Structure formats: C-alpha cells, structure tokens
Chains A and B, each alone.
Chain A
Amino acid sequence: MDMLAGKVKKTSLNLDSAMNPTDVLERPIRLTARDVTVHYGAKQALHGISIDIPDRAVTAFIGPSGCGKSTFLRCINRMNDTIEGAKVGGTIKLDGEDIYAPALDVVELRARIGMVFQKPNPFPKSIYDNVAYGPRIHGLAKSKSDLDEIVVSSLRKAGLFEEVKDRLQEPGTGLSGGQQQRLCIARAIAVGPEVILMDEPCSALDPIATAVIEELIDELRENYTIVIVTHSMQQAARVSQRTAFFHLGNLIEQGPTEDIFTNPVNKQTQDYIMGRIG
C-alpha cells in the first residue's frame, strides 16, 4: 500500500517532470495522417484530420465525448475495417508507408500497431495464454522456452509479473480491473509492436490502478510510440508530451502538451481546458 501511495504521489507531480525542454516533434515522425475522414453510413464522424505523431513519445487525444477520438485512433490500426458501414478517407502513413494501400497486410499492420481498449478485455483463458496468444498466431516463438521468455518479459514490461508469477495458469478474468488492463498491455507488447494505441485505458479503473498505469505508460515511452485517448485533461497533462484537442469531429489544436494547457491558441481549446465545454 505504501508503495502504491508513493506511485500516486510521483505521477501526480504532473507537467514539468514529463516535459522535455525541446518539442518531441523534432524526433523522427512515425505516423503521419493527412485529411483523414470517417463516415459511419451517412454520418460523418471525422472531418479531415491531419497530424504527425513522433517516435517514442506519448501523444494524447483529448476532447469531449463523441468528438471522434476513438474513431481516429481506430483508423490508425484499421480497426474500423471491422465495423460495418465505416468508410475511411485520406491517408495515414506509418514510417512513410500508406497503411490503407491495397497491398498492405492488415494482420501484419495490427501486429506492428498494438491496441489497448477502454474496458479491460482479457480473453477467458489463463494469464499465460492471454499473453502468449499474439506470439502464437504470428509464430514469434520457435520453442516453448522462447514463448515462456516472451510471456515473462512482456509481463515484466507491463509491471505485472511480480503480482502474477505464481498463478500464470489461472484465468486472466480473475484479476482486478487494473491488473486486467496491465495484462492487456502485456498482451499487446508480446507481439512486439512499434506503436501502442490506448483508448481511455484508465476510464474503468480506480485512482490507484490509474496511477500505476500512468506510471507504466511513462516507462513504455522509452521504447514505444504511444497514442492515448483520454477524457481526463489531468491525465493528458501527466503522461503526454504532445496533445491534440478534438471537437465535433475536427482537430482543433495540437502542440506540445505544456503549450496546450498553459497557452492554448484556439478559443474552443481554451473553453475546454477551462471546463466550459462538457
């Protein structure tokens, strides 16, 4: 408990601790989106989104509920393909390669771009099998011991190993909400992605579990490009280096997190930051 309380304090230091003096955009750009539109049937959910997402940094999407944050996130790993009636326009490139190109293998793309969902969704299998699932379907492990190693190191990176090392064969659904979400992060990491998308990963968790995950995101930033959707501005401020503000399907403003929160240019962004847009 003391340890957890320490974590809460540490991550709630906010802003300055996470900030680089120089904008992270000066790093290589992993993802570029240009004029991305999404229609659900006749309804247009996104109106021309253009954004660059830098390597090994956390980019946060904020904005009121229903403004299209999740929709845009799902464009990045083509999860919208699984929704009937969803149509995506514009271009998104990962390392300069168009991910909507007809020749592109969606299955491989999703292995490179992992995703963590709003509600923890472990498979009704054992903890071990949850993490091993991705490596198994992609044939990443040559032997049982390879697989063991991937599972253990993924659980370690997700900060879950110590808590579950004695019960790897127990069902993943038996863990607490926060542990389940870290299991889902471990599951995503196990495939060896370069980018991790997180859609409100803490919205179903209590404050302590949230703090643990935020800490984890901060660590993962060393090795992964992370995009996180959150409706909590405090969370965006705590974990991200860049922030993009969405409103009604438009990207209103983007920039270094510090600038967005202390010095927003756009009136709508100001209103949202000040709590005037719900």
Chain B
Amino acid sequence: MNALVVAGVLIVLLGISYQTGWSKSRGLVTADGVKVHSRPQYHGSFTAIWAMVPALVILLLWAWFGGGITHNYTVSQIPQDILVSLDQAGLNGAIIRINALASGYGVAGEIAPWEQAAGDALRSFNFLTFAGTLILAVVAGGAGLAYARSRITARLRARNSVERVVNVLLLACSAVAILTTVGIVASLVTEAFRFFTFINPLDFFFGTVWAPNNAGGTNYGSYGLLPLLAGTLMITAIAMLVAVPVGLMSAIYLSQYAPKSFRAVAKPLIEILAGIPTIVFGFFALVTVGPFLRDFGNAIGLQISATSALTAGIVMGIMIIPFVSSLSDDIMNQVPRTLRDGAYGLGATQSETIRNVLLPAALPGIVGAFLLAVSRAIGETMIVVLAAGNAPILRGSPFEPVSTITVSIVNQLTGDTDFTGPQSLVGFALGLTLFVVTLCLNIFALYIVRRFREQYE
C-alpha cells in the first residue's frame, strides 16, 4: 500500500516536472525566436532530474535510517520496569508483537495494556513518519523543480547536463553488477574460512574420503575434496569427449558445407537444444540413457551401472554440443573469406582448405569455446544429481556411480541448515573451489580468444 502511494507520488512528480521544463522550453522558442541550445525534451529531462533526485535521496535516506529510528522509538514505548525484565529474545518477541498490533494483524494470546498502548503509539508514529517523509520528498522535489525551471534559458546546456546524468546512471548500474559479484565472492571467502576453522584445509583439499557426519555433534566426519573433484573431472572429461568431436564436426559442416537453406533451419534447431532445461536432460539420462548403457554393457559383458559417470558424462556432452558447435561455427565464420580464397586459389580442395587454413586460423577461438564449455560442464548440477549415482567415492572406473562437487553442495545445503557447523559451511568451501576452477578456465579462455581476435585486427 505504502509502496504504491510512494510510486504514485513519484510518477506524478516525474510527469509534472518533465512537462514544466518542456513547456518552458517551448515558450522560449516561440517567445523570442532565439536559437535555443537544447531541444525541449532535454529541458524536460533536465527539470525532471532536478526534481526526482532530491525526492529520491530523501526517500532513500528514510529507507536506510528509518528502520533504526522506528526500532528505537518502539523500545522507548515499552515501560521501563518491563524493559529491564526482558532478555534479548524477550525484547525481540515484544517488538514483533507491538509491530503486529500496530499494523493491525493481531497477535496470539492475551494483550497486555502496555502492549496495546505501545502498538497504538507505534501506529501513529509510523503514519506520521511516512507522511512526513513523503511530504518532505515532494517539497524537496518541488524545490528542485522550481530551481531547474528558473535556470532554463535559451543558453542552458541541458543536453550536456542530461548526458552527464546518463553517464552517472550507467556507471551506477555497472557498479551494481560488479559490486554484487564482489559481494558474493567475499561472502564465499569469509564463510569458507569459517569452515576452515573446523576442518584443516589440508584435510579438505587432499582428503580422499568424503563422509560428512550430518547428524551433528562434535564428530564432524571427513571432508576430503578429492573424490568429488575426481568425479567432477571424470564426468567433464567424458562430456567433452562427446561434445568436442560432434560439436566441431557439425560446426564445420554448418559453416563450410551446408547449403544456406539447410543452415537456416539447422542452426536455430541446434541452438534450441541449448534451451532445453538441464533437468529434462536429467530425466533423459535417468530413464533412457542409463538403462540403455546398462543393457548394452550386459550384452558385451561389461558391468555398467545405470547411474554412473558414463551416463552423466554422455548426457552432459549432448547438452553442451550446441554450445561448442554454435561458438565454433561463429568463430569459423569470422575467419576472413580472403584467407580461404587464398587456399582455393592455389588449388587446395575444400577439406584441405579446412584442415590447413581454416582450422589453424580458428583454433585459438575454438579452444576458447571448448574451455567455456568445460566450465559450463563443471558447474552443471541437475544432470549429475539424477544420473551420476551420488556415490562420493574415489574410483577410477567411469562405469560406476560417482558424485561431484555440485551434487555434494546440494546434499549439504538442502534441508535444515543453520550455517554454524562444518556440515553446511562446507558448501561454501566447495563453492569457492568450483568458482576458482571455473574462473581460471574462463580467464584462460578469454586470454586465448583475445589473442585470436588480434590476429585479424
């Protein structure tokens, strides 16, 4: 409700201020016929910015500090003798009850008179501060509007001012993106360090047994990363063995051999494959590929488990085929046509041209595409949850169930978690490991892709 009122007021302010600036600017043109520096839209935007910024600043200030002020006020409404009798939990409970009374939701149990009084007081306090803030915001906005309007003259460089504001706005948005990333990484790091206060990092990074004791207590269990890392790498390797040849060949066919009409149909179709939710690939692995592999193994005398590294790897490979083929196709199309012409002009056949000229020229870019695909595979979770068998044991055979880093994170963080013991905090350590691995791969990939780009300016 309140949010709607605020939004409504802001929109009205925006409309009025823009209109004011715009019409004053139009007035300039018709009145003295001098050359106006900026078009009316810019004067409108200029005025709107001057009106909106002070209003928004005041609202933001209240959003920032209002909570603390209200809290203090609520505490001050609790009678002194009762206040001293309350511990921290009791105080929090009392505040929640008072808030509930103030907003009219009602509370369970008997309502003490002091609670009722405090609730009533808080209600009028909330109303007053809300109305006060809003009025202050409108007044500040109005003042900004009036100031901006008074500054509008033919020579005012509103266009340039708007440009600067747009700059700041864009900067702020990219700052949000960057700061969020930094924040996520920082929280990963701090929580991971908390985990390492329970478990020795050496035991984590080089331990070969993964057996967390999720029951709690002082026996935490064993947190060896290696079985998970091995499972992750094995599945990723199988996935790349499937995706790289198939993806690369289909990219070569699409970019070099396919007639335009076929390409126009096939390329979007392959990209649709990339849009299939990974959980669907998970079903597919569980229901079709796993049993098929098991039966096939039986037929040729191999013991293949239905849920295994092989199943998950093959299906994950199928999932990233479009990724590899689409990127490689784009990269091969970037190789200048003149280079291919050079080879044809010397009498090279098509496949010679592809092998000797096109692929070497595109190779760095293709390697970059592979690395991006690898980091995608390493982070993939759903297929592995369903198809890899969830057996965090260090072993060398791809025909047996394994588990991966991502699956173990899911296992450790689902259900009741309080983030006080290593059982759940290990999720952050695993997440950090995963992040560092994929980050390194991405940096390496970007480095290679960039080198490729420089080769042809």
Q: Check A82–B344 contact: CB distance below 8 A.
A: yes
Complex contacts, B348 vs chain A, CB 8 Å: 107, 133, 137
Task: Assess whether B396 is interfacial by the CB under 8 Å rule.
Answer: no
Question: Contacts A121-B336, A124-B360, A137-B356 given: A110-B341 contact, CB under 8 Å?
Answer: no
Contact (Cβ within 8 A) B339 A121 = yes
Listed stretches A1-9, A93-101, A183-191; interface member: A183-191
Q: How far is the CB of B178 from chain A (nearest CB, A)?
A: 36
Q: In chain B, what residue has the closest Cβ to A77? A: B345
Q: Does A166 contact B (CB under 8 A)?
A: no
- Decide if B349 touches A107 in the complex (CB within 8 Å): yes
Chain B residues whose C-beta falls within 8 Å of the C-beta of A125 in the assembled complex? 360
**B341, B352, B361: which contacts A82 (Cβ < 8 A)?**
B341
Known: A121-B338, A124-B455, A137-B356. A114 touches B344 (CB 8 A): no
Distance of A23 from chain B, by nearest CB (Å) = 30
Q: Is the CB of A188 within 8 A of B338?
A: no
A184 contacts B342, CB within 8 Å? yes
Q: Pick from B260, B347, B356: contact of A110, CB below 8 A.
A: B347
Known contacts A121-B339, A133-B356; is A110 also within 8 Å of B345 by CB? yes
Asked if A138 meets B339 with Cβ closer than 8 Å, knowing A124-B360, A133-B356, the reply is no
Interface bits B329-361 vs A (CB < 8 Å: 1, else 0): 000000010111111111111001000110011
Report the bound CA distance from A117 to B455 in whole Å: 19
Taking a contact as CB atoms under 8 Å apart, the answer to whether A114 and B360 are in contact is no
With A79-B341, A121-B336 already in contact, the answer to whether A111 and B260 are too (CB < 8 A) is: no
When A117-B341, A137-B352, A138-B347 are in contact, do A123 and B357 touch as well, CB less than 8 Å?
yes
Task: Flag whether A115 is at the interface (Cβ < 8 A).
Answer: yes
A108, CB-defined interface residue at 8 Å: yes
Q: Is A134 an interface residue (CB 8 A)?
A: yes
> Shortest CB–CB separation between residue B259 and chain A, in angstroms?
7
For B342, give its contact among A107, A111, A117, A191 (CB under 8 Å): A117
Task: List B residues 352-404 near A (Cβ within 8 Å).
Answer: 352, 356-357, 360-361
In the complex, what residue of chain A is closest to B364 when comparing beta carbons? A124
Contact A137 B346 (CB under 8 A): yes
Residues from chain A with a CB closer than 8 A to the CB of B344 are 79, 82, 110
A79 and B344 alpha carbons, distance in the complex (Å): 7
Return chain B residues, CB-CB under 8 Å to A16: none
For B352, list chain A residues within 8 Å (CB). 137
Query: CB-CB < 8 A to B339: which residues of A?
Result: 121, 123-124
Interface residue count for A (Cβ, 8 Å)? 28
B105 CB to closest chain A CB (Å) equals 70
CB distance from A120 to the nearest CB of B (A): 9
A173 at the binding interface (Cβ < 8 Å): yes
Q: Which residues of B contact A173 (CB under 8 A)?
A: 455
User: Is A206 part of the binding interface, using a Cβ–Cβ cutoff of 8 Å?
Assistant: no
Q: How far is the CB of B448 from chain A (nearest CB, A)?
A: 15
Among B342, B348, B356, chain A packs the most CB atoms within 10 A around the CB of: B342
> Once the chains are docked, how many angstroms separate the CA of A191 from the CA of B336?
23
A26 in contact (CB, < 8 A): no
* Interchain CB contact (< 8 A) of A137 among B336, B341, B347, B361: B347
Which listed residue (B259, B349, B361) contacts A124, Cβ 8 A? B361
**B59 CB to nearest A CB, Å:** 58
**Cα distance A130–B267 when bound, in Å?**
34
Report B82 CB to chain A, min CB distance, Å.
82
Those of A155-180 within 8 Å (CB) of chain B: 173
Given contacts A121-B336, A121-B338, contact A115 B345 (CB under 8 A): yes
Kindly provide the distance from the CB of B68 to the nearest chain A CB, expressed in whole angstroms. Answer: 63
Interface string of A130-152 (1 = CB under 8 A from B): 00011001100000000000000
Chain A positions within 8 Å of B343 at CB level: 123, 133
- Cα–Cα distance between A17 and B343 once the two chains are bound (Å): 35
Instruction: Specify which chain B residues have a CB less than 8 angstroms from the CB of A188 in the assembled complex.
Output: 345-346
Q: Flag whether A119 is at the interface (Cβ < 8 A).
A: yes
Contact B346 A191 (CB under 8 A): yes
| Chain B residues within 8 Å of A191, by CB | 346-347
Q: Would you call B347 and A121 a contact (CB within 8 A)?
A: no
Query: Taking the nearest CB of chain A, how far is it from the CB of B348, in angstroms?
Result: 5
**Quick one: given A125-B360, A137-B352, A173-B455, are A117 and B260 in contact (CB under 8 Å)?**
no
Residues on B with beta carbons closer than 8 Å to the beta carbon of A117: 338, 341-342, 345
A184 to B347, CA, bound (A): 14
Chain A residues lying within 8 Å of B361, measured Cβ to Cβ, are: 123-124
- 1/0 per position for A245-264, CB-CB distance to B under 8 A? 00000000000000000000
Q: Which of A111, A122, A124 sits near B347, CB closer than 8 Å?
A: A111
B274 to chain A, nearest CB (A): 27
The CA of A77 and the CA of B343, in the complex, are separated in Å by 13
- Point out the residue from B336, B341, B346 that lies within 8 Å of A133, measured CB to CB: B346
Give, as a whole number of angstroms, the nearest-CB distance from A145 to chain B: 22
* Residues 252-291 (chain B) with a chain A CB within 8 angstroms: 259-260
Kindly state the separation between the CA atoms of A171 and B339 in the bound complex, as whole angstroms. Answer: 15
Taking CB atoms, residues of chain B closer than 8 Å to A138 are 347
Query: Which residues from A are CB-within-8-Å of B346?
Result: 110-111, 114, 133-134, 137, 187-188, 191
Supplied contacts A107-B348, A123-B357, A133-B346, 6 more A-B pairs, CB within 8 Å: A110-B344, A110-B345, A121-B342, A122-B342, A123-B339, A133-B343
Return the 9 tightest CB-CB contacts between A and B, nearest first. Answer: A115-B345, A110-B347, A111-B347, A121-B338, A134-B346, A121-B342, A107-B347, A124-B361, A137-B348
Question: What are 5 A-B contacts with C-beta separation under 8 Å?
Answer: A82-B340, A108-B347, A117-B338, A121-B338, A122-B342
Interface residues of B (CB under 8 A from A): 259-260, 336, 338-349, 352, 356-357, 360-361, 455
Question: A residues engaging B (CB < 8 A)?
Answer: 77, 79, 82, 84, 107-111, 114-115, 117-119, 121-125, 133-134, 137-138, 173, 184, 187-188, 191
